[in-house]
Structure 1
């Protein structure tokens, strides 16, 4: 079975002034529901929420990678698309590739699109 790691920016780290209509409680619930949906769809997935600080985030991911290996990893849009997180995104990609040669990546646009993104990587575009 494919072992999947989903990495996202911890909801406490987001600047909600840039996201009208979204708050920490709502985003937390969406992330949790998205992860539950993965498990309910029988994916072997682990959720890893990281701080915005690149050093802290790298440490968190390295600790997770030291416990198990992953075949597929996704980095959430909240971390990936915000210009202020470019260095963080870059560092996490390099940590993942360095620790898990051959790892493949998927990218979602929201917690609700994670399953579709994983399926694209496992089965090709539909």
Structure 2
């Protein structure tokens, strides 16, 4: 029996300004997302640029299907300038998917573990 579906929200590392290499984070996100298939869990990924039309992107992603669990990544939760956006994401999930569990990962590679706690 397949579990899920799961929706994962995160910050798009390629759209974070500054002088840094986003490739290691992009690779970690890809590795973490691939782990869902190892558990036969359908999972969608929504990476947003917080300075763009991020709230609308969250609403569109939530409208795609019924999700059993929504994982909110550390890039949204842990970066203090994104606190207001984090609150918006949590409340948008509660508004649009009131039956979905909300989970938090500690790294891109343990996202499936966060979801499994609630599936």
| TM over 0.5, shorter chain | yes
Identify unmatched segments of 5+ residues in structure 2. Answer: none
Q: CA RMSD in A?
A: 1.8
**1:104 matched residue in structure 2:** 101
Per-residue deviation, 1:105: 0.9
Flag the structure with more relative contact order, 1 or 2, with Cα contacts below 8 A and sequence separation at least 6.
2
User: 1:86 & 1:64 partners in 2: Cα distance?
Assistant: 20
**1:57 matched residue in structure 2:** 54
**1:10 matched residue in structure 2:** 12
The superposition leaves residues 17-46 of structure 1 with CA deviations (integer Å, 9 ceiling, x where unpaired) of 7xxxx7201111110111111123211110
In the alignment, which of 8, 33, 36 is matched to residue 34 of structure 2? 36
User: 1:110 & 1:14 partners in 2: Cα distance?
Assistant: 17
The superposition leaves residues 32-72 of structure 1 with CA deviations (integer Å, 9 ceiling, x where unpaired) of 1111111232111101101112x611111111222212110
Which of the two has greater strand per residue? Answer: 2
TM-score, length-scaled by structure 2 = 0.88
Which of the two has greater helix per residue? Answer: 1
TM-score, length-scaled by structure 1 = 0.83
Q: How many residues align?
A: 117
Contact 1:10 1:51 in 2 (8 A): yes
Per-residue deviation, 1:111: 1.0
Write out the 4+ residue segments of structure 1 that deviate beyond 4 Å after TM superposition.
none
**1:113 matched residue in structure 2:** 110
Identify unmatched segments of 5+ residues in structure 1. Answer: none
